[in-house]
Every structure is written in C-alpha cells, then in structure tokens.
Structure 1
Amino acid sequence: MSDSLHATTVRLTGADGAEIEAYLATPDGDTRRGGVVVIHHLPGYDRATKEMVRRFAELGYDALCPNLYSRQAPGAEPSDAAAAVRAAGGIPDEQLVGDVEAAAAYLRGLPHANGKVGVIGHCSGGRHAVLAACRVNLDAAVDCYGAFVTGTPGADYPLDVTNLVPLLPQLRAPLLGLFGKNDKFPGPEQVAELDRILTEHGKPHRFFSYDDAGHAFFAVDRPSYVVAAANDGWERIESFFHQHLEG
C-alpha cells in the first residue's frame, strides 16, 4: 500500500448550522475505504492531532478532524482557543454530537468512501468518542483514556462535564478502550465500571490497560509518552479499524 496522501483544510456545516473548519487527509488512489473522525483533545486542534489525521490516511482511511473550537475562538492559536474553551467550561455535548455527525456525513460523501466511519479521541476526546458512539450512527469507536465516561468530577473540576452512564445502554458501535493503569482520570476503577456496564448491556467492547502508563501515554510531545504502550495501542487501533471499517 502506498503511503502517498493529500492533506488540506476544509469547511463543513456543524451543529446549529455553524460553519467550522476541519483538517482532512486522504490517501491517494481510488481504493474504496472507510473513514475516521478524529476528535482532538482539550489542548485543541493542534499539530499533534493533525499528525494523527495524516497517520490514518497513511493507513488507508479518509480521516477528518473538525475544529471543535471554531465558534469560541475562530482563527486563534490552539493554545489560546483551548484556554478560551476551558474558561467557558468546555464545549456542550450537543455541539460535539452535531459536529461529529457532520464530519461522518462529510466522510461518507467522499468519492471513494465505502460508507463505514469510525471515531477516535484521546483525553477529553476519548469521552467525546464514546458520547458520539452513543448518539451517532458509527461503525467503530476508540476511547483513549477518556475521563468521566463513568465516575463523577470533583467540585473543583474546571469543566462543566457529566458522566455518560445514562447513555451507555445506547452505544451503537463496537468500542475499543486503551487506558493507563497509573491514570487517575480515568482510574482503573472507572475503567472497570465502564467494562461492567457495557457487559451488562451486551455491548461489544475490548479494553486494554498498560502497567507502566498514565494519562496521555500516546502524546509523543509530552513527558507522559510511553513508547511500548503507545506502539501496542497503535497496533490495536489499526487492527480494530481494519476489522470494522474495511469492505
């Protein structure tokens, strides 16, 4: 498979009819393929996230990352946009759902789309990926250490966020979860609770937790990066999307 690809910024109509920017990467060639919606983390629509978008294109998928902060801080640097969103308590869940739905529709409308779309997110994006998989018709979802899918934020938590426990019985797509055993948000007890709830409701899922990893172990630009865990996680993501998005 060739690793030749094309990447560019596009516009799409997100939740509430707002026009938002998004980063699109597509592999060259005319092979029919699935799509991946990449949900950026709280630090924003940044270089690290765009590198992930290109990686999925290199793996053979059309990949799209909507800029969830387009409304709050249009044209701002990622760090400034993230600061503005944190100060506002985060983005509303309904906005996230609408933007992911728009991104999935965009991917399904591309010339070589096979109609299948998955979603992936890290940190706050991990929770968002599960939220989207409960509310949007998707074919696969990956939660990389998403905080407060289960569990309750403390009174001093800076974001206006609730857990997703009431929505979990509505999960519409198989879920892959990748976690660090040294993480606190989510901690092993929250991961176990999520596993239990999904098992009780017969929702297909597979979870992997890494002994020597904490939060953000995929982040190559942070001290939290754990090579072994990240490499194994990427292999599991590739296998999972291959299983559910091919054909």
Structure 2
Amino acid sequence: MAYEGMIAETVSIVGDKNQPITAYAARPLGPGPFPGVVLIHHLPGWDEWYREATRKFAHHGYAAISHNLYHRSGTGDPGDVAAKVRAEGGVPDSQVIGDTEGAVQWLKSQPWQNGKAGVFGTCSGGRHTFLYACHTKSIECALELWGGRVVMSKDELTSKQPAAPIDFTANLACPLLGLFGNEDRAPTPEQVDRHEAELKKHGKTYEFHRYDGAGHGFFYYDRPMYRIEQALDGWQKVFAFLKKYTA
C-alpha cells in the first residue's frame, strides 16, 4: 500500500478587523499543490463534527481549514460557548464575512495550496456560506447545506443580521451547490423554492439537490437526524462539485 498521511493542527489566522482568531487546519502530507476548502461551522459551534469534516476533506486530497467564529466569546466546551453566543444574539454577519475572508486568504497564501478554494457550511454555516459568497470574489465555488434563514422575514432581522442573504443574490460571483432535506423546517421546502427562484432570476450557476426522507442536519452521524443513504449521496455531490471548480 502507498504511504498515506496528513497533518492537522490548530492555527491562528487574521480575522475580521485584523483580529486574530483560531482555526483548525488539515491537509495531506506532501508538497501539493492541493485544492482548498474553507468550512464555516454551524450554530452548535466549532465542534468535533467540524474537526472530523476538516480531516475528511484532507483525506480526500484537500487543504482544509475551519475557523472559529465564536473565538471572541471564549474557550471551553463548544456547546457552552455556542449557548453563550446564542444568548448574545449570534455573531454579526459582517464579522462572519470578515473572518471567512481571513480564512480564505490564509489558505490561499500557503505554499502547498493550488490557489483555488471553495467554501462549505451547514445549518447557520450554510447561511453564512451563501452570504459570504455574495460578498467576495475570492472563491471558486460555494457549498450551502440546509442553510436556514437565507430567506428571512422583516421581523427576523436584527442589528447583527440586518439583511436577508437572499437579498444579495445578484452579487453571487461563483457557482453554488445546495443540499436540502424535504422534511426540514429551517429552511422549509417553500423557502428553498424562493432561494432557487432568485438564483434563476439572476442567471446564477447553481445545483440544488433535495432529499425525501431527510430533514435538517442529515449529514450528522452523531445525531438522530442522520440519514445514511441521503448523506452518502450528498457527500458524493460535494466532492464532485469541489473537484469541478477547484482541482
């Protein structure tokens, strides 16, 4: 068997407003160059699932990084930190955009990276993925998995989330992959319809795949919401999409 290995470690990157934040990076051993993927974690936080997903991308030949959007709220158990962040009304959208741009630029500056990168996120990270993709020209593709609150009513807007991501669709500057469960309530199938209609209206390049028998979080093997057949198919679509635009 051929030798196989990877390096995975916590690093410090420059986030929004030039503030340092932590991130978890993983890549195959060797000189590369490797295509890149930036993972935007979900509402439950910078947790074990996201570390494992980061290593999964490295196993498949990618240089991957998952930055800690909750860094400024302290360290400790990811669930406790996430609860504190939720109590504070979440993190500002503008800060997420700045932190993600910092992660992309850190990744693209590495000598073993091929200069191309996609952004991947689930749940709130899916929302942030789409939002970020509408505010940058730094990435080659975006992968939004069940992004809740891309479509928002006026009464859902806050000072930290002052606009619905769907309102920025015209600015999307890269191809988009969307994976959704038809039993999800955030986003609902009707919200996914609106999301897709807006992409069509503006002539964007996208692929949406919707799964019967799946709700929110159907990739999460450590939770009852896991759906193995839909998740396996979804991962195949993730890697095919990344390969198309970042290899």
Shorter-chain TM-score range = over 0.9
- State the SS of the aligned residue for 1:135: coil
Question: Deviation per CA, 1:178-211, whole angstroms, max 9, x where unpaired?
Answer: 0000001101111111111111101100000000
Alignment length (residue pairs): 244
Quote the residue 2:15 is aligned against: 14
Say if 1:21 and 1:163 are closer, same or farther in 2 by CA, change over 3 A.
Answer: same
Matched, 1:230 2:231: yes
Aligned to 1:135: 135
Residues 50, 159 of structure 1: alpha-carbon distance in 2 compared, 3 angstrom cutoff:
farther
Q: What one-letter code is carried by the residue in structure 2 that aligns with 1:239?
A: A
Distance in 1 separating the partners of 2:97 and 2:160: 16
Q: Deviations over 1:99-147 (max 9, x none)?
A: 1100000110111211111100000000000011111221110000000
Aligned counterparts, 1:70-219, within 5 A: 70-73=71-74, 75-136=75-136, 137-152=138-153, 161=161, 162-219=163-220
Alignment-mate amino acid for residue 120 of structure 1: F
Aligned-partner Cα distance in 2 for 1:186–1:2: 43
For normalisation by structure 2, the TM-score amounts to 0.94
**Cα distance, 1:212 vs. partner?**
0.3
Is it true that 1:28 corresponds to 2:29 in the alignment? yes
88 and 82 in structure 1: CA distance in 2 versus 1, 3 angstrom threshold: same
Counterpart in the other structure of 1:59: 60
CA distance in 2, matches of 1:159, 1:223: 34
AA at the equivalent of 1:79: G
RMSD across aligned positions (CA): 1.8
Render the CA deviation track for 1:40-97: whole Å, top value 9, x for unaligned: 1111011111000000011111100000000122x22101110111001110011000
SS in 1 for 2:151: coil
One-letter identity of the residue aligned with 1:65: S
Structure 1 length-normalised TM: 0.94
Unaligned 5+ segments in structure 2 are none
Q: Distance in 1 between matches of 2:224 and 2:106?
A: 35
Q: Hey, what does 2:39 align to over in structure 1?
A: 38
Give % identity: 42
Amino acid at match of 1:31: G
Compared CA separation, residues 124 and 159, structure 1 to 2 (3 A): farther
What do the CA deviations read for 1:20-51 (whole angstroms, capped 9, x no partner)? 10000011122322111001111101111100
The question of whether the paired residues in 2 share the 8 Å contact of 1:33 and 1:245 is answered with: no
Which one-letter code corresponds to 2:166 in the other structure? V
Measure the CA separation in 2 of the matches of 1:145 and 1:201.
Answer: 21
